[in-house]
Structure 1
Amino acid sequence: MPANKSGPVPRKKGRRGRLVAITVALLLVAGVGLGAFWGVSTARASFPQTTGSLKLPGLSNPVDVVRDANGIPQIYADTDEDLFRAQGYVQAQDRFWEMDVRRHMTAGRLSEMFGKSQVKTDSFLRTLGWHRVAQQEYDTKLSPGTKKYLQAYSAGVNAYLKDHEGSELSLEYAALNLENDYKPEQWTPVDSVAWLKAMAWDLRGNMQQEIDRSLMTSRFTPEQIAELYPAYPYKRNRPIVDGGTVDPAGKEFTPKKSSGATAPAGAPGAIGGVQAQLSALSKTLGEVPALLGPNGNGIGSNSWVVSGAHTTTGKPLLANDPHLAPQMPSLWYQMGLHCRTTGPKCGYDVSGFTFSGMPGVIIGHNKDISWGMTNLGADVTDLYLEKLSANGYLYDGKQRPFTTRKETIKVAGGESRTITVRATANGPIVSDRDHELGDVGKNAPVGNAAPDRGDGYAVSLRWTALDPGRSMDAVFELNRAADWTSFRKAAEHFEVPSQNLIYADTKGNIGYQAPGRIPVRGKGDGHFDGTYPAPGWDPRYQWKGSIPQNALPYEYNPERGYIVTANQAVTDEKYPYLITKDWGYGSRSQRINDLIQSKIKDGGKVSTDDMQTFQKDNSSEIARLLTPYLMKIDIKDPYVREAQQLLEGWDFTQEPDSAAAAYFNAVWRNTLQLAFGDKMPKELRVKGECLTVRPADETGPADENDKYVRECGERAGDTAQPDGGDRWYEVVRNILDDPGNAWWKTEDRPGSPGDKNRDQLLAHAMKDARYELTSKLGKNIDNWSWGRLHQLFLNNQTLGTDGPGILQGLFNRGPWNLGGGEAAVDATGWNAAGGYKVTWVPSMRMVVNLADLDKSRWINLTGASGHAYHAHYSDQTDKWAKGELLGWAFSEQAVKKNGKDTLTLSP
């Protein structure tokens, strides 16, 4: 399905002239033609001081910042406020440009930095009001202690800004200042809180699926749509929690100690034949920056924990690798926050992965516990169709007035724009930001009692993140948690985004908690389950509160001795509350379950090395399923048969040098396009690469020097929705033994008769894949490799995503030829609708050893620094690509032993 563009500033043609000017500015700053010395000194101006001493006003006592050989800082302080003040200062040293762009994005103020091309994006983000909600959280919800820490963090950032400007902050500012005379303003606590809204947006659940299903109704029957969104395979892929019950009276969840098979759930259905034409909203959503990754496109994460009964250390081992959009610098920033003496004045001794711009540690461990996160995937959004009049909207048979506000968008180099944001009781009217949405729903009824729709419908958004919450409190509570009880208490406040939280402690306990504010929906006309847009005028479709916290699933020391979360179903279909109808389908999670089980059977033990090896497992489930069918097809064409033979004896692993993996994934991509993509409604089509490449003479194998011609007709040029993720594994699995199924039959197209059954379509896909890879990798299959197709590029998410190549070359790095693949444990994702380029990755990896925290391991995608040309800009990437991990020192003794530079911050 269509992927959101990664990064805070999407590619737009209107930016090109501006970027040319910025390029010229950067070349001048870099000293091109003006002498090498001045260029080097300018590039180095923003590099942080990491040794000696600096003054940091507001500290009560000196703070030490110890950096290791990779530039990863560990901070030592005597009070909480000193600790977070120093964290703000140090993160600003390394990553302020990234922080500044992020806060402009979350506030809908990108136009202030990048001009009129960002007005549409800012308008949509102002309509959602992330920064407004963050302000409400800060004013009314957060604890006094959290506010104190946010204020200290902001003071540290601002102390750095006071003494640095322009190129001293980052090379990007040198260009932006020449072009725009831009000056960053003071950091505020709300800037930090608002980042949680960006997290929640990218992890919001099934909004895109909700739109897509509605668009499909223009061409497919409800039964066909159900075939494209099959039920979760409970019998084959284990949920996170093995059973359990919720007491109807106390609303409290009780885990089940033993596992058992369950029956598959029924397929989702439509509410009254919804057929809203939501293509404009889909397009608008696609233009909103996705900082974490392409939402709704298979993005996920892995985490698992194994109890000491099954480990070589005798204590738990915990692994985590969130799958997010690749970017430069990485979304994560590694850091340790240590109180020299823990007590009432200073309560933190924690290390892990942080977000630049936010105090505390998001994922990691303290001296007592460790925790990891994966996206729970809860359905926390609903689209409502609204019937509007000039003065309001219809609800329960009556007209109600809008809630309105004005938003002024300042535009660098242009005039300010003012928009009016309208909202109903369901939420902001997102269709106001795109005139095409005025006709949404005009051609079809919604619900069983739709009012007159002569003027069409508007679309509003109900989303849990638009209600103020306490997730920022939860971050600090997790950092301080000392046991299972305090961990679960912290989880209660982690409302948005809803994440799977796994747990281990140094005493040997393991656990899992599903937190989050997850809505309870009204029944509507009997089938309101969040899978389709709902009629906003009908009170039967309103939310009825949230799932009680005590009723959310959890496990503590389960009998099997391990817990796996990888975006699969949380619990079985007997759970009384609806969490979502759109789980991940469990391909990765079941593979991890199988790897652990194979290791511990017959009394075997899991080591830290094993945990690291599991993270790099690149076995392809769909290859294991489909390849036997491909090998049975009698291919007469020797040119295609040569490629088919690559699959003989293949073990289904996707190493970078594997020709078989390259060919199979090309066959898979072409199979999806032929069987499903060509049949999608035009509203679901997105521009992508041409699939089929033929020799110019169409007579057979071409000579090396022959010209190859791309077929860019309607079929190849307008690639459509199938992204190749494990939902499509399930779709194909369900029809694979039905060779005459209608999905296998294709319509006629120029140069090729329609395929009449499974084997004809698979043969067709194998032929198309052979010619596609001939175009991309050459005629000689001995030169084919998966890594040459499946490449990672790390792009600076602002000045590195568009414009002249020389500009991109200043900030971007790559490519790296990668193994792994879509829905593999080593989830280097790619979208089959658009090509083989890596679109999301394990953004970091960690393995925590609860027996000896100093023997834990971690790696980041890029490096500690956000400064181009700094030694730590991308120094971890080569190791990351090979699956290597760095040692992770935690104790003060180990940190000092591994320390390379020490900076003292003094009052």
Structure 2
Amino acid sequence: MTSAPQDPPPLSPRRWWAAFRAWPRGVRLTSYVALGLALVLVVVAVVVVGLVRRPLPQTEGEATLPGLDGEVTVVRDEHGVPQLYGDSMEDLVRAQGYVHAQERFFEMDVRRHATAGRLAELFGEDAVESDSYVRTMGWRRVAERELALVSPTTRGLLQAYAAGVNGYLDEHSPSEIAVEYTVLNAGGLGYAPADWTPVDSLAWLKAMAWDLRGNMQDEIDRVLAQAAVGVERARELHPAYPVDEHAPIVGQGAVVDGVFDQDATANTTRNPLRPAFTADQRAVLGEVGAGLGRLPALLGRGDGVGSNSWVVDGEHSATGAPLLANDPHLGVGMPGVWMQMGLHCRDAGPDCPMDVAGFTFSGVPGVVIGHNAEIAWGFTNLGPDVTDLYLERVRGDEWRYDGRWQPLRVRTETIEVADGEDVTIRVRSTRHGPILSDVSDELADVGEKSRPGRGLAVSLAWTALDPAPTADAILDLNLATDWDSFRAALSSFSVPSQNVVYADREGHIGYQAPGRIPIRKSGNDGTVPSAGWRPENDWTGEFVPYDGLPHVLDPEEGFVVTANQAVIGPDYPYRLTEDWDHGWRAQRIRERLEDAGPLTVAGMQELQLDADHPLAAVLTPYLLDVELPEGYWSGGQELLRDWDLQQTAGSGAAAYYNVVWRNLLALTFHDELPEELWPNGGSRWYAVVARLLEEPTDPWWDDVTTETTVETRSDVLEQAMRDARDELTRRQARDPRGWDWGHLHRLDLRSSTLGESGIGPVEWLVNRGGWEVGGGSGTVDATGWDAAEGYAVTTAPSMRMVVSLGDLDASRWINLTGVSGHPASDHYTDQTDLWARGDSLAWPFTQPAVEDAAQHVLTLVPGADPDAGGG
């Protein structure tokens, strides 16, 4: 008896590519077969091109959007940047949702799956660990509670935005929405996206908060460093902020009766002592750090990111009015995090006050960074300590606290897995927060084996896990018209805490630090994980009052610089963090502003591209003093003699210096630190090495693996220079005149989903790369790289903008990638070439300027009765 014929399993892209690669190389084809194969390939190519181009959005003519009260006009320029014109705010954000879905829905869909802990539904078992961490932290559960906290106006706009997204989805099949759905469904996924909801928008903000969460990894690193080299030497790897050398953001003012007064003074601080960590405690913490490090890049790394922003008043500006610059530094990938857009009421007034343009998040209504008709604003990460890890003593479903065993809060979550069995996890929490270590079976085993019956666990306290109406702040900022309404808008901005610079058309400039920053009890300074069983390590439940956070209006020096440096001096009574960026970028910007004459828009842009290496002026003289044999070995050293310290893409001296730097770090620290603590070469390591250079026999210089030799500074510098010479000879050329920094320091933009699929044609479709760029870590032109990994760009200015308050149409902007998330679009990376060259685009704002730049016009017209708002 024969079995009934069965359909073959779907040929997934991975199986197809494997079969293609397995085709015998030596097969000889007849002319007829070859001709037939060529015709088949042509047909396949036509079909593939058609499928790839199918999701490209309609940009001209008319399209129906249900729920609109009136028409909305979408005007796109030559780079596809849309400017929307409508007669009500509800219509504008409904249309914004539609346009975001046109250009970026797959990105939006992936992010909502990621923030809900549902990536495994799309990408299978490899995503289960990420989903488990996100479910354990409960990001979407928090977002669901936040929907009830935002104002009725914000809630209504979130619903209108969701309805706009769904209006687009309702009229398009998955293959018409994104080519990525075509690829996934070709593998048998059978997926169609669900409706967008307001909670999806709120959950997106959790991902940004995670990316900019502060010092959580530093807490773990300090403990692991103490285990490797002892408490005192570990402290040398985390030097204090040099407030006397690098000025804080706000150089005046203090808190009086809970309110920050920019003309007052105050003091007070604290520094609690901490007991040493045991081996079992270090093991559990190390495993948590490793697990969190495996979260997908689209959720952010929370490490190595920063930003620049500064604002100058009219006396420092050639226009006589303020100028404001901003370039947030984030991880690189496809598509970029920002989408430029304008939202304009045709007749701006009390009934329809929106008239704003700037950088938006696809999935979130409104403009996040930009300007309206009256004010401009920019963000950098404040980086306060808003996370604490707690070591917990647990047994079964109980945890130890204040001398008693108490029940853990427990819930169950089920993760659906594409092409696999569902995974059920138990999420347990203490009063401090969710237990992250439950995600890893290995971690649980470590804790149990170290303390039988009283295992160790690690919980997370994080301000973003408490619901707050941050979405109110975004929309209120869009409508602010002066300093008071700007500050009122930011009072709702809870996470992530930011430095926000300000300028207005009246000539004022300012700075405000918003955010929910916890006040800790006396036993917890936030620098290392705390013992969760001790009540003195808890948060008080209070936060730094908004009115007590640093802010300044029209400072005497006439400018404000924020580049992740300390916000204010050590006498400030509230503890914000100990882990500031060390201020090299900020100080360079300040010095350039102090030395500059009246600034133009072009001058502000030139400063954004400053590639001066922060440590080069300190380290280079030591390198020039090293005695190397003439000829081969001294070739790189000769480049340094005339180096201007700028890390331009074509600089051979910059290439040599950075390769020396990487080798110096490896020779100095790799022998004593575990691999997970190897230096990334950023700002903190500049401070560490700057001190060591003054101590030629410091123990750090010695290579502990050479038992009979004690190396000194001169030994390490010479070996680093020799190793760099050999490395550049291998990588580039024997002749140093053939070296250049950009050849090493390349920008590759990869999709964090299909771009990591391992399927060649798919990766080719969605990834882009090969840009040779200048700049570096800790540089104003902050194209960061990880010295523990290589020279490739890992973080970069995700956009750059300069706003001219004297003539808004004279402002400039540029995006790291492009407006579109569609690989077949001309606007997928059409701004990247310009970005890499340091160029920018005109930023038209007034309606005549927008109309002059128009290339495509789409009119969205009202349709039939809408769905009431997308949930």
Which band: TM-score by shorter chain?
over 0.9
Offset of 1:33 from its aligned partner?
Answer: 5.1
Partner of 1:747: 704
Name which of 278, 283, 287 aligns with 1:280: 287
CA contact (8 A) 2:329 2:796 kept: yes
- Mapped partners of 1:257, 1:66: distance in 2: 49
Kindly indicate whether residue 730 of structure 2 is the aligned counterpart of residue 736 of structure 1.
no
- The one-letter code matched in structure 1 to 2:754 is L
CA contact (8 A) 1:857 1:887 kept: yes
Offset of 1:453 from its aligned partner?
Answer: 7.2
- The one-letter code matched in structure 2 to 1:234 is V
- Mapped partners of 2:709, 2:828: distance in 1: 52
- Mapped partners of 2:300, 2:327: distance in 1: 14
Offset of 1:674 from its aligned partner?
Answer: 1.2
- Mapped partners of 1:26, 1:134: distance in 2: 45
CA contact (8 A) 1:68 1:899 kept: yes
Name which of 170, 173, 183 aligns with 2:181: 173
Kindly indicate whether residue 222 of structure 2 is the aligned counterpart of residue 213 of structure 1.
yes
The 5-angstrom pairing of residues 1-20 of structure 1 reads: 20=14
Partner of 1:513: 512
Offset of 1:202 from its aligned partner?
Answer: 0.8
How big is each residue's C-alpha offset from its partner over 1:434-488, in whole Å with a ceiling of 9 and x where there is no partner?
Answer: 12323667899xxxxxxx7764310000000000001001000101101000100
Q: Does the C-alpha gap of structure 1 residues 811 and 882 become closer, same or farther in structure 2, counting only changes over 3 Å?
A: same
Partner of 1:857: 812
- Mapped partners of 1:415, 1:144: distance in 2: 41
Q: Does the C-alpha gap of structure 1 residues 332 and 32 become closer, same or farther in structure 2, counting only changes over 3 Å?
A: farther
- Mapped partners of 2:781, 2:350: distance in 1: 42
- Mapped partners of 1:218, 1:819: distance in 2: 37
- The one-letter code matched in structure 1 to 2:858 is L
Q: Does the C-alpha gap of structure 1 residues 187 and 660 become closer, same or farther in structure 2, counting only changes over 3 Å?
A: same
SS in 1 for 2:83: strand
More displaced 10-residue stretch of structure 1: 623-632 or 270-279: 270-279
Q: Does the C-alpha gap of structure 1 residues 363 and 26 become closer, same or farther in structure 2, counting only changes over 3 Å?
A: farther
Name which of 654, 670, 674 aligns with 1:677: 670
Partner of 2:30: none
The 5-angstrom pairing of residues 499-510 of structure 1 reads: 499-510=498-509
Offset of 1:748 from its aligned partner?
Answer: 3.6
- Mapped partners of 2:449, 2:594: distance in 1: 53
- Mapped partners of 1:500, 1:23: distance in 2: 48
Offset of 1:637 from its aligned partner?
Answer: 6.4
Q: Does the C-alpha gap of structure 1 residues 755 and 466 become closer, same or farther in structure 2, counting only changes over 3 Å?
A: same
CA contact (8 A) 1:257 1:558 kept: no
- The one-letter code matched in structure 2 to 1:803 is G
Partner of 1:71: 80
Partner of 1:812: 767
Partner of 1:529: 525
Name which of 402, 420, 424 aligns with 1:396: 402
Partner of 1:40: 49
Offset of 1:217 from its aligned partner?
Answer: 1.9
- The one-letter code matched in structure 1 to 2:576 is I
- The one-letter code matched in structure 2 to 1:155 is A
CA contact (8 A) 1:355 1:362 kept: yes
Structure 1, unpaired ranges of 5+: 1-16, 445-451, 687-719
Name which of 159, 162, 167 aligns with 2:170: 162
* Percent of pairs with identical residues: 51
Q: Does the C-alpha gap of structure 1 residues 457 and 748 become closer, same or farther in structure 2, counting only changes over 3 Å?
A: closer
Offset of 1:346 from its aligned partner?
Answer: 1.7
CA contact (8 A) 1:222 1:269 kept: no
Aligned residues between the structures: 830
Name which of 128, 137, 142 aligns with 1:119: 128
Structure 2, unpaired ranges of 5+: 1-10, 22-36, 863-871
- Mapped partners of 1:336, 1:101: distance in 2: 25
- Mapped partners of 1:48, 1:22: distance in 2: 29
How big is each residue's C-alpha offset from its partner over 1:486-533, in whole Å with a ceiling of 9 and x where there is no partner?
Answer: 100111100001010110000000000010000000011xxx210111
Name which of 138, 143, 153 aligns with 1:134: 143
- Mapped partners of 1:620, 1:802: distance in 2: 36
- The one-letter code matched in structure 2 to 1:213 is R
Kindly indicate whether residue 454 of structure 2 is the aligned counterpart of residue 461 of structure 1.
no
More displaced 10-residue stretch of structure 1: 669-678 or 859-868: 669-678
Name which of 778, 781, 799 aligns with 1:823: 778
- RMSD over aligned Cα, in angstroms? 2.2
- The one-letter code matched in structure 1 to 2:292 is L
Name which of 67, 72, 78 aligns with 1:58: 67
- The one-letter code matched in structure 1 to 2:741 is W
Kindly indicate whether residue 255 of structure 2 is the aligned counterpart of residue 246 of structure 1.
yes
- Mapped partners of 1:43, 1:502: distance in 2: 42
Kindly indicate whether residue 482 of structure 2 is the aligned counterpart of residue 483 of structure 1.
yes
Kindly indicate whether residue 611 of structure 2 is the aligned counterpart of residue 618 of structure 1.
yes
Offset of 1:771 from its aligned partner?
Answer: 1.3
- Mapped partners of 1:828, 1:257: distance in 2: 38
- Mapped partners of 2:425, 2:469: distance in 1: 30
Q: Does the C-alpha gap of structure 1 residues 659 and 442 become closer, same or farther in structure 2, counting only changes over 3 Å?
A: farther
Offset of 1:23 from its aligned partner?
Answer: 5.7
Name which of 292, 305, 314 aligns with 1:308: 314
Offset of 1:391 from its aligned partner?
Answer: 3.2
Q: Does the C-alpha gap of structure 1 residues 132 and 319 become closer, same or farther in structure 2, counting only changes over 3 Å?
A: same
- Mapped partners of 1:530, 1:165: distance in 2: 50
CA contact (8 A) 1:25 1:175 kept: no
CA contact (8 A) 2:56 2:824 kept: no
SS in 1 for 2:561: strand
Partner of 1:151: 159
Partner of 1:543: 539
CA contact (8 A) 2:391 2:456 kept: yes
TM-score using structure 1 length: 0.89
Offset of 1:18 from its aligned partner?
Answer: 6.4
Partner of 1:423: 429
Offset of 1:902 from its aligned partner?
Answer: 0.6
More displaced 10-residue stretch of structure 1: 115-124 or 836-845: 115-124
The 5-angstrom pairing of residues 510-659 of structure 1 reads: 510-524=509-523, 528-544=524-540, 545-599=542-596, 604-636=597-629, 638-659=631-652
Partner of 2:856: 901
TM-score using structure 2 length: 0.92
- Mapped partners of 2:488, 2:764: distance in 1: 47
SS in 1 for 2:228: coil
CA contact (8 A) 1:106 1:125 kept: yes
Partner of 2:865: none
- Mapped partners of 1:637, 1:810: distance in 2: 49
- Mapped partners of 1:181, 1:411: distance in 2: 13
Name which of 222, 242, 259 aligns with 1:233: 242
Kindly indicate whether residue 349 of structure 2 is the aligned counterpart of residue 346 of structure 1.
no
Name which of 315, 318, 322 aligns with 2:324: 318
- Mapped partners of 1:19, 1:508: distance in 2: 58
SS in 2 for 1:291: helix
SS in 1 for 2:156: helix
- The one-letter code matched in structure 2 to 1:578 is R
Offset of 1:155 from its aligned partner?
Answer: 0.4
- Mapped partners of 2:567, 2:452: distance in 1: 40
Q: Does the C-alpha gap of structure 1 residues 132 and 113 become closer, same or farther in structure 2, counting only changes over 3 Å?
A: same
- The one-letter code matched in structure 1 to 2:764 is G
How big is each residue's C-alpha offset from its partner over 1:852-893, in whole Å with a ceiling of 9 and x where there is no partner?
Answer: 101000000111111112111111111100111100000111
- Mapped partners of 2:762, 2:499: distance in 1: 40
Partner of 2:787: 832
How big is each residue's C-alpha offset from its partner over 1:824-858, in whole Å with a ceiling of 9 and x where there is no partner?
Answer: 00000000011000001101000000001010000
Offset of 1:21 from its aligned partner?
Answer: 4.0
- Mapped partners of 1:635, 1:857: distance in 2: 48
- Mapped partners of 1:269, 1:26: distance in 2: 63
CA contact (8 A) 2:212 2:305 kept: no
How big is each residue's C-alpha offset from its partner over 1:379-402, in whole Å with a ceiling of 9 and x where there is no partner?
Answer: 000000111122311111111111
Partner of 1:337: 343
Partner of 1:701: none
CA contact (8 A) 2:402 2:533 kept: yes
- Mapped partners of 2:449, 2:587: distance in 1: 43
